[in-house]
Amino acid sequence: MKYKYTAKYTKIPSGYMGQIIECQEVITEGKNLAECRLMLEDALKEMILAYQQLEKPIPLNENNIIESLSIEVA
């Protein structure tokens, strides 16, 4: 089964921090953006496996509304 999640990447002094918006416990760091993406994907797969083993429902993004919001501040 294929699931869709939203990743958030933040530049930090040591590289990048990545987090899954729908599952904020899935968080990792990488030296660069490419490494962070790979590590975040691996962390997400591990989280899904853990949820399956515990017979917990897998968090999905079906109830979330994710959008970009721009504001202008004077």
Residue 63 has pLDDT above 70, yes or no: no
Give the model's pLDDT for residue 65: 62
Q: pTM, whole model, 2 decimals?
A: 0.76
Asked whether the beta carbons of 29 and 53 are under 8 A apart, the reply is no
pLDDT band at 33 (very low <50, low <70, confident <90, very high): very high
Distance CA 74, CA 63 (A): 34
